[in-house]
Amino acid sequence: MKGSIALHWRRIPERYRLEGTHCETCDSYYFPARRICRKCRRKGRIVPYKFSGKGRIYSLTEIHSAPEGLEDQIPYVLAVVELEEGARCTAQIVDVRKKDIKIGDGVEMVFRVVQREDPEGLISYGFKFRKLH
Amino acid sequence: MRQVAIIGVGMTRFGEHWDKGFRDLVTEAGLNALKDAGLSGNEISAGYVGTMAPGSLIGQEHAGALIADYMGLNPVPITRVEGACASGALALRQGIMAVASGIHDIVVIGGVEKMNDLGTAAVSRILGGAGDQEWELFLGATFPGLYALMAKRHMHEYGTTEEMLASAAVKNHKHGAKNPYAQFQKEITMETVLNSKMVADPLKMFDCSPITDGAAALVLAPVETAESYSKKPIELLATDQATDTLALHDRSSLTGIKAAEIASKAAYKKTGLGPKDIQVAEVHDCFTIAEIMAIEDLGFFKKGEGGKATLEGRTTFGGDVVINTSGGLKAAGHPVGATGVKQAVEITWQLRGEAEGRQVKDVEVGLTHNVGGSGATAVVHLYRRL
């Protein structure tokens, strides 16, 4: 995702601080933020919610063939993380080798560089996760 | 509502067509389909074309107008339909609805993608647009990566093995070797798959479908006039589509494509048919795990037993149901927008008894299953000889 700075800037609350939403009607948690509850639709009462950043590995893989912008990071562990509030997200798992992490392991959010466009281009920051010991 | 039939089919060979562009491919497939239906072109009242990303792949939007122009069909209305890798089946579905409603009589359907004018990294980025760009791809996911996350969960919950996954690729190459339109007409061994380069654990190079150029086309007519055009018209019994969340992580389960299960159940309910009534199916095996999940989602095998069934040969000739006689996306190739239409072309050949070298015996009912992205769109069609 190259190009516009605004495209990255408008996602700062979610990417830097895991700010999503919570539906007070059905107690569902959403990350990233959603304005319409998937269960209650228009009857949902959606309020902002900052996630704790703690969660568990729901599924994981190791990426060997990287997309543009992440070539310098391969191989890296990529996971679906189930946050403790119940929402799930896709994220890289850092500071660990594939053989040392498995489905069910506890993880916590860390703040890292996500992508660099090129040596003189935009550096994008955001969340990744690391294993809890 | 009128019943709808396929009265003609055609396609290009799938592969790397360095000498042919987007418009060359789609006109070649279109002409083959018109010839097969015995039409001059004057009979056509509308068209729908499935293509995922010509704007990114070759810088060309407005594909409907381009195709109407180069098919010599102006002023016939042709409309582009997009649903990522399910664009082809969606175009077919739009055509069926147009004929069924009585708005149009003879409708041409195309599917096309020209992918090899860019390098692999650029094509991978463009295909990534089928997922959630902001919350999957930006954070490091790739398409093989998303399907790998499903594979790992399937292995975790059901004990599916890398050999079971590989057996789908081996079987599809065996089928593709008999299909003159396939990109890879060559058999491979289990060792070839297991020893190929790792892409996204546990998926290796030979678990993945290739980058392909190609086009497929077919012609639809109302059932009541179909026999005046074709000796062997094929009736479309059901067209069903379902959606799910764009991002994989938002789904309740990662071990199946729920939209495909919902679409197939709707098609079965409407027709009174079930998986046991189907002898041949083309399913969306963009990765080997996708075929394992497909045969479970469609009800051919119980959840968790698709891998074992594939390894045991129950999805090839002589098995319970023959899956992907064309070679599937793995061996026949995957020109994204063309795939859904190619599946319908292959099933038409099977039902007419014209799939030389790969013909399934005593075919009564066929099924196609086309999936967009990691499962946010799924389209199922059922077919029978008229």
B136 has pLDDT over 90: yes
B330 has pLDDT over 60: yes
Average pLDDT over residues B86-106: 98
Query: A66 vs chain B: nearest CA distance in angstroms?
Result: 7
- Mean pLDDT over each residue of chain A, to the nearest integer: 94
For residue A13, whether the previous peptide bond is cis, meaning omega lies within 30 degrees of 0, is no
Domain range annotation of chain A: 5-13+52-131
Q: What's the pLDDT band for B114 if we cut at 50, 70, 90?
A: very high
Give yes or no for a contact between A42 and A86, defined as CB atoms under 8 angstroms apart.
no
A118 has pLDDT over 90: no
Q: Which residues of B26-60 are buried (b: 16+ CB within 10 A; e: fewer)?
A: bbbbbebbbebbebeeebbebbbbbbbbbebbbee
Say what percent of chain B tops pLDDT 90.
99
| Set B175, B334, B369, B381: catalytic member | B334
Q: What's the pLDDT band for A70 if we cut at 50, 70, 90?
A: confident
Average pLDDT over residues B127-148: 96
Say what percent of chain B tops pLDDT 70.
100
What is the reported pLDDT for B129?
95
What is the reported pLDDT for B276?
98
Q: Pairing mode, if any, of strands B234-243 and A54-63?
A: unpaired
Instruction: Give the model confidence (pLDDT) of B275-307 as tens digits.
Output: 999 999 999 999 999 999 999 999 999 999 999
- Mean pLDDT over each residue of chain B, to the nearest integer: 98
What is the reported pLDDT for B346?
98
Query: B39 vs chain A: nearest CA distance in angstroms?
Result: 45
CA distance B355 to B343: 13
Torsion, Cα B61 B67 B69 B75, to 10 degrees, reads: -100
What is the reported pLDDT for A35?
95
| Set B85, B104, B208, B284: catalytic member | B85
Instruction: Give the model confidence (pLDDT) of B345-380 as tens digits.
Output: 999 999 999 999 999 999 999 999 999 999 999 999
What is the reported pLDDT for B142?
96
For residue A88, the chain B residues in CB contact (below 8 A) are 249-250
Q: Please give the C-alpha separations between residue A8 and each of A68, B127, B134, in angstroms, as whole numbers.
A: 17, 21, 9
Domain A5-13+52-131, what architecture? Beta Barrel (2.40)
What is the reported pLDDT for A2?
61
Best of B135, B150, B153, B245 to mutate (most A CBs within 10 Å, chain A): B135
Return the sign of the alpha-carbon dihedral for residues B102, B106, B111, B112. Answer: negative
B225 Rama sector, left if φ>0, alpha if ψ -120 to 50, beta otherwise: alpha
What is the reported pLDDT for A3?
66
ipTM of the complex: 0.97
A1 has pLDDT over 70: no
Q: Please give the C-alpha separations between residue B248 and each of A76, B24, B102, B152, B257, in angstroms, as whole numbers.
A: 19, 36, 38, 13, 10
A18 Rama sector, left if φ>0, alpha if ψ -120 to 50, beta otherwise: left
Q: Provide the 8-state DSSP code for A37.
A: B
Structure tokens at A4: 């516009």
Give yes or no for a contact between A63 and B140, defined as CB atoms under 8 angstroms apart.
yes
Q: Provide the 8-state DSSP code for B97.
A: H
Average pLDDT over residues B128-155: 97
CA distance B285 to A127: 32
A71 has pLDDT over 90: no
Give yes or no for a contact between B233 and B4, defined as CB atoms under 8 angstroms apart.
no
User: Cβ contact (<8 Å) for A58 and B197?
Assistant: no
Please report how many Cα atoms fall inside a 13 Å half-sphere around the Cα of residue A34, on the Cβ side.
Answer: 19
What is the reported pLDDT for A51?
98
Give yes or no for a contact between B369 and B283, defined as CB atoms under 8 angstroms apart.
yes
Whose CA is closest to A63, among A31, A105, A93, A107? A93
What is the reported pLDDT for B148?
98
Average pLDDT over residues B239-248: 98
Q: What's the pLDDT band for A43 if we cut at 50, 70, 90?
A: very high
Active-site residue, B208 included: no
Q: What's the pLDDT band for B66 if we cut at 50, 70, 90?
A: very high
CA distance B235 to B339: 20
What is the reported pLDDT for A68?
80
The CATH number of B4-119+212-234 is 3.40.47.10
The secondary element (H helix, E strand) that includes residue B295 is helix B288-297
Give yes or no for a contact between B4 and B99, defined as CB atoms under 8 angstroms apart.
yes
B199 has pLDDT over 80: yes
Domain range annotation of chain B: 4-119+212-234, 130-210+235-385
CATH T-level fold of B130-210+235-385: Peroxisomal Thiolase; Chain A, domain 1 (3.40.47)
Q: What's the pLDDT band for B382 if we cut at 50, 70, 90?
A: very high
For residue A63, the chain B residues in CB contact (below 8 A) are 140-142, 145, 200
B162 has pLDDT over 90: yes
User: Cβ contact (<8 Å) for B144 and A65?
Assistant: yes
> Which three-class secondary structure state does DSSP give residue B307?
helix
Burial class (CB in 10 A: 0-12, 13-18, 19+), A104: exposed
